[in-house]
Amino acid sequence: MLRSLTIESARPGVQQRSTTALALAEEHYFRIQKEDEQIGAFLTLCRERALEQADRIDRMAAEGNPLPPLAGVPVAIKDVLNTRGVRTTAGSKILEHYIPPYDCTAVARMEAAGAVVLGKTNCDEFAMGSSNENSAFRPVHNPRALDRVPGGSSGGSAAAVAADMAVAALGSDTGGSIRQPASFCGVVGLMPTYGRVSRYGLIAFASSLDHIGPITKTVKDAAIVLGVIAGRDPMDSTSADLPVPDYVAELAKQARGLKVGVAKEYFGEGLDDEVRHAVESAIDKLKHLGCEIVPISLPHTPYAIPTYYIIATAEASSNLARYDGVRYGYRARGVKSLSEMYRRSRDEGFGAEVKRRIMLGTYALSAGYYDAYYLKAQKVRTLLTRDFEEAFQKVDAIVTPTSPTAAFRLGEKSNDPLAMYLADIYTVTADLAGVPGISIPCGNTRDNLPIGLQILGRHFDEATVLRIAHAYEQSWAASALRL
């Protein structure tokens, strides 16, 4: 039952009393107890909070009241999103015992829409990673193959959905951290336009790149969640004051007639042959659905990785300066001076990858190097954004592989940071440009590892991205049934 459970099926069941929110929550907790020891998707469970919410929803249903869009749906929340009264660690020892006094806006909106929050999911420390091996607590294993990574940094959220331990989850995406795990775990991951979803209550990694978005089993579920969490928030000055479309209604529109761009830069050296074949087959399917396939170029793509790892690390260096052992978080013991407390608290509290990125970012921002690195990276970011703006004058969306490979083995790239960073080569461009993107399953390798198709759209045009993704998903599902 849990494998086929979606938001689309769960909410009507609760409304019609064929099941209850309480029963759904208990089933998922049983599943977590049974499966999560070997997967490691959750860091903290909030059973009391979940059951109180489930009881509230069941009472509404019993009284015959109309239920909100996520009523009774068991969800998981990435552990970089603050939850009032529930431990929020960002996957770091430095915040191991931090309990926020407030909710992240996206979480508050999910619960206001009736969602039942089961717990907080494991992630790379401060969302810095592509494999979910950088968590201070334990790595996450891919439910599709336990010797493989689930992707990062939202690996716990993707694994929880893929393993049927939650119907949906929230993740964050700074360089691909929603889309790449979704690809590796065979689920749907949506990164909205920068500013479409409030970042208030998100523990910051890189403030100009961070996005919050859903990880779900279907495109329609992603559309439902986005409709709940999107919209202006006075607590976040970067959230856009724009109308939020009815994303679910948009799914009913056909993809026929839409122009879909294919950028040659995303099909070059380093792309695995099986991934290439699956994505090219997906493009052919879109053509059969009536989309016009248009060759395009995004010429500055080769500069995306170095640009991203200068800007992101520079912002991380600034954002993580607040963790000093004084205000909150981990504090080293047995120190004899203030400077020693700062140094040891950060040295003992941060993991190796976070320290690496802080040092890179501090160097890029330092006197004498700011213009050569950070300022130049911002100029290249503008060029990357212009590439997309020019492309979207010719096409309605762009399709690419989500990742150059399927999920790699745990430990395979741990000692090679550059190889790990290149796992994000097809996703960082969208974060830098601020455009929306989605990853949807488009096939499997010979080893039965999922392959993801990425669809990118114009700023604030998530509707078209979802529309194309839904059309492809329905066509792929129909093909699978025929087989």
Q: DSSP readout, 145-196? A: BTTB---SSSHHHHHHHHTTS-SEEEEEESSSTTHHHHHHHTSEEEEPPTTT
Confidence of residue 482 (pLDDT cuts 50, 70, 90): low
Residue appearing with tokens 């399927």: 406
Neighbours of 353 (CB within 10 A): 18
pLDDT at 478: 66
CB-CB contact of 206 with 194 (8 Å) = no
pLDDT per position as a tens digit, 67-119: 999 999 999 999 999 999 999 999 999 999 999 999 999 999 999 999 999 99
Assigned CATH for 2-250: 3.90.1300.10
CB 69 within 8 A of CB 40: no
Task: Round to whole Å and give the CA distance between 314 and 35.
Answer: 38
Q: Calculate the alpha carbon distances from 161 to 150, 174, 267, 348 in Å.
A: 11, 20, 29, 33
Residue 1 pLDDT exceeds 80: no
Question: pLDDT class for 172, splitting at 50, 70, 90?
Answer: very high
pLDDT > 90 in the chain, percent: 94
Strand partners, 191: 437
Q: CB–CB of 349/92 below 8 Å?
A: yes
Q: How confident is the model at residue 479 (pLDDT cuts 50, 70, 90)?
A: low
Flag whether pLDDT at 319 surpasses 90. yes
List active site positions. Answer: 78, 153, 177
The reply to whether the predicted model has a pTM over 0.95 is yes
pLDDT at 481 over 70: no
Q: List CB contacts of 423: < 8 A, sequence separation 6 or more.
A: 130, 131, 176, 180, 403, 404, 405, 408, 413
Phi, psi of 304 (to 5 degrees): -65, -45
Q: CA-CA distance, 481 to 483, in Å (whole number)?
A: 5
Residue-range domain boundaries for the chain: 2-250
Can you tell me which residue has the tokens 């979606």?
6
Q: Write the CB contacts of 462 (distance below 8 Å, at least 6 apart in sequence).
A: 190, 192, 193, 196, 226, 245, 247, 436
The overall average pLDDT reported for the chain is: 96
pLDDT at residue 450, as a whole number: 98
